[in-house]
Amino acid sequence: MTEPGASVSKTRENISQLRCIECGAVRENGGRNFRCASCGDLLEIVYPGWERLDPATHKSIWLQRRTSRLPMDESGVWRFRELLPTLRDWNTAITLKEGNTPLYELPRCARAAGMQQLFAKHQGMNPTGSFKDTGMTVAASFAREQGFRWVACASTGNTSASMAAYASRGGMRSLVLIPEGHVSWGKLSQSLDYGAVTCQLKTGFDGCMQVLNQIVERMPVYLLNSINPYRLEGQKTAAIELLESLNWDPPDHIIVPGGNMGNSSALGKALVEMKEVGLISRLPKLSLIQAEGANAMVRTMRETGGRKLVSVDAETLATAIRIGSPASWKKAARVLQATGGTVEQVSEAEIALAKAEIGADGIGCEPASAVTLAGLKKLVKQGFVKSGDHVVLILTGHLLKDPEFTLKFHRGDLLEDQRAPGLHAKQRAPGLHAQQRAPIAVDASADSVIRILEQAETHTSA
Ligand code: F0G
pLDDT digit of tens for each residue in the chain (462 aa)? 544 433 333 333 348 999 999 999 999 888 889 999 999 999 999 998 776 678 999 999 999 999 999 999 999 999 999 999 999 998 899 999 999 999 999 999 999 999 999 999 999 999 999 999 999 999 999 999 999 999 999 999 999 999 999 999 999 999 999 999 999 999 999 999 999 999 999 999 999 999 999 999 999 999 999 999 999 999 999 999 999 999 999 999 999 999 999 999 999 999 999 999 999 999 999 999 999 999 999 999 999 999 999 999 999 999 999 999 999 999 999 999 999 999 999 999 999 999 999 999 999 999 999 999 999 999 999 999 999 999 999 999 999 999 999 999 999 989 875 455 445 544 567 888 889 999 999 999 999 999 999 999 887 654
Q: How far is CA 321 from CA 297, 334, 348, 370, 391, in A?
A: 12, 20, 12, 11, 22
DSSP string computed for 9-65: HHHS----EEEETTT--EESS-TTTTB-TTT--BEEEE-TT-----HHHHHHHHHHG
Distance 375 CA to ligand 1 centre (A): 17
Residue nearest to atom 15 of ligand 1 (CA): 320
* Sign of CA pseudo-dihedral 7, 10, 13, 14: positive
Query: How big is the CA angle at 240 (ends 238 and 242), to the nearest 5 degrees?
Result: 65
Nearest atom of ligand 1 to the alpha carbon of 261: 14
Nearest atom of ligand 1 to the alpha carbon of 262: 13
CA-to-CA distance for 122 and 166, rounded, in angstroms? 20
Q: What is the DSSP-derived secondary structure letter of residue 70? A: S
Query: Greatest CA span in the chain, whole angstroms?
Result: 75
Nearest atom of ligand 1 to the alpha carbon of 235: 13
The per-residue pLDDT for 11 is: 34
The number of residues making up the chain comes to 462
CA-to-CA distance for 119 and 117, rounded, in angstroms? 7
- With the most atoms of ligand 1 within 8 angstroms of its CB, the residue from 151, 212, 321, 399 to mutate is 321
Distance 39 CA to ligand 1 centre (A): 26
CA-to-CA distance for 268 and 21, rounded, in angstroms? 14
Distance 15 CA to ligand 1 centre (A): 29
The per-residue pLDDT for 284 is: 98
CA-to-CA distance for 87 and 461, rounded, in angstroms? 58
Distance 155 CA to ligand 1 centre (A): 8
Type of residue found at 388: G
196 membership: H or E segment, kind and range: none
173 membership: H or E segment, kind and range: strand 173-179
The torsion angles phi and psi of 461, rounded to 5 degrees, stand at -80, -15
Indicate the pairing of strand 197-201 with strand 103-105. Answer: unpaired
Nearest atom of ligand 1 to the alpha carbon of 161: 20
CA-to-CA distance for 326 and 300, rounded, in angstroms? 10
Helices (H), 383-433: 403-411
Distance 215 CA to ligand 1 centre (A): 22
Distance 263 CA to ligand 1 centre (A): 7
Distance 157 CA to ligand 1 centre (A): 8
Distance in Å from the first CA to the final CA of the chain: 67
- With the most atoms of ligand 1 within 8 angstroms of its CB, the residue from 158, 366, 394 to mutate is 158
- Pocket-forming residues, ligand 1, beta carbon under 6 Å: 130, 155-159, 226, 257-264, 320-321, 366, 368-369, 396-397
The per-residue pLDDT for 159 is: 98
Q: E strands within 231-348?
A: 253-257, 285-291, 343-346
CA-to-CA distance for 462 and 459, rounded, in angstroms? 5
The answer to whether the beta carbons of residues 322 and 289 sit under 8 Å apart is: no
Distance 320 CA to ligand 1 centre (A): 5
Residue nearest to atom 19 of ligand 1 (CA): 155
Distance 454 CA to ligand 1 centre (A): 42
- With the most atoms of ligand 1 within 8 angstroms of its CB, the residue from 128, 396, 398 to mutate is 396
Helices (H), 361-428: 367-382, 403-411
Q: Which residues contact 14 (CB under 8 A, 6 or more apart)?
A: 86
Distance 436 CA to ligand 1 centre (A): 26
pTM above 0.85? Answer: yes
Proportion of the chain in helix, strand, coil states, percent, rounded to 5: 45, 15, 40
Query: How big is the CA angle at 152 (ends 270 and 76), to the nearest 5 degrees?
Result: 35
Question: For residue 367, which of 400, 413, 332 has the smallest C-alpha distance?
Answer: 400
Distance 258 CA to ligand 1 centre (A): 7
The per-residue pLDDT for 427 is: 53
Nearest atom of ligand 1 to the alpha carbon of 366: 3
The answer to whether the beta carbons of residues 84 and 50 sit under 8 Å apart is: no
Nearest atom of ligand 1 to the alpha carbon of 258: 14
Nearest atom of ligand 1 to the alpha carbon of 260: 12
Q: State how far Cα 12 lies from the chain centre.
A: 31
Nearest atom of ligand 1 to the alpha carbon of 332: 14
The answer to whether the beta carbons of residues 392 and 256 sit under 8 Å apart is: no
Report the SS3 class of residue 263.
helix
CA-to-CA distance for 66 and 79, rounded, in angstroms? 8
The answer to whether the beta carbons of residues 233 and 366 sit under 8 Å apart is: no
CA-to-CA distance for 324 and 86, rounded, in angstroms? 34
**pLDDT tens track for 347-375:** 999 999 999 999 999 999 999 999 999 99
